[in-house]
């Protein structure tokens, strides 16, 4: 893929100018945490948790990729895929962090579709390491929705159009429920057994908030995850593999959203 020429020592994409306005809070044209100018973010955004995976996606999959944000090290890029503008924005780990970026993308930049491209942990032997899991819905132990819905149990689900397109693009993928946990090191890991008994395939930390916010704003959302480690078998991938080798889910996401 063709990328804009960058200066020495960069990662092959154009970096922001040294005094990019996103460094200055209070600019009325920019959001607090993303800091992109109006028009710099495409209507479709891929969202990995890892900002370095965002950089790798921009380098590997997009043409003419330009970095529009480096606030707090959470990189964002816009380029084109098959001639269509698309952005990629890191979210950080966990639902509170993702909610910051998704709220600002929807509210400040009128983004229409967000597809999470992240990692997950396999919870059942039905899925294997490096398999794709396309999340039709997301269970959670987070209090975010309990507060928002005053104790009612809201069921966060994917946009059906994106879900169907992703499933068609990846017939090998597992389509089903995932669990969005608030803790990477849970105090009661045995509770996951009940989730598996009810069809949950994998665990991650973001999709429930993404689906809820998309529904609230009338936008489209999907989570496509690669199994990076397995709770049952103990298998795992390295941090470098998680950052730079999970390309299949990116292909599927781009095809589902723009193909």
Question: Quick one: CA dihedral 238, 5, 66, 3, positive or negative?
Answer: negative
Beta bridge partners of 14: 66
Calpha distance 164→222 (Å, rounded) = 10
Helices (H), the chain: 51-61, 95-109, 144-148, 160-169, 192-197, 207-217, 239-244, 247-258
Environment class of 6 (CB within 10 Å of its CB; exposed 0-12, middle 13-18, buried 19+): middle
Q: What's the gap between Cα 161 and its chain centre? A: 17
Residue of 253, 242, 21, 248 lying closest to 120 (CA atoms): 242
User: Which residues carry out catalysis?
Assistant: 229
Calpha distance 249→259 (Å, rounded) = 14
């Amino acid at each position: 893929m063709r990328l804009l020429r960058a200066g020495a020592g960069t990662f092959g994409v154009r970096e922001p100018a040294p005094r990019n306005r996103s460094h200055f809070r209070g600019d009325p044209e920019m959001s607090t945490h993303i800091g992109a100018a109006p028009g710099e973010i495409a209507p479709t955004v891929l969202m990995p948790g890892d900002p370095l995976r965002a950089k790798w996606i921009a380098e590997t999959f997009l043409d003419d990729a330009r970095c529009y944000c480096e606030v707090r090290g959470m990189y964002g890029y816009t380029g084109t895929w098959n001639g269509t503008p698309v952005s990629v924005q890191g979210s950080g780990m966990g639902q509170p962090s993702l909610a910051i970026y998704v709220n600002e993308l929807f509210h400040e930049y009128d983004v229409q579709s967000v597809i999470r491209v992240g990692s997950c942990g396999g919870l059942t032997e039905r899925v294997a390491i490096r398999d794709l899991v396309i999340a039709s819905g997301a269970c959670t132990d987070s209090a975010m929705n309990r507060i928002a819905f005053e104790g009612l149990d809201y069921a966060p689900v994917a946009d059906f159009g994106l879900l169907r397109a992703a499933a068609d693009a990846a017939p090998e993928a597992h389509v089903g429920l995932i669990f969005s946990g608030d803790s990477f090191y849970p105090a009661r890991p045995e509770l996951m057994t009940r989730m598996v008994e009810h069809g949950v395939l994998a665990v991650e930390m973001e999709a429930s908030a993404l689906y809820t916010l998309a529904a609230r704003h009338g936008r489209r959302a999907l989570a496509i995850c690669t199994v990076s480690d397995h709770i049952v078998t103990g298998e795992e991938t390295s941090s470098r593999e998680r950052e730079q080798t999970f390309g299949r889910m990116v292909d599927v996401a781009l095809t589902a959203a723009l193909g």
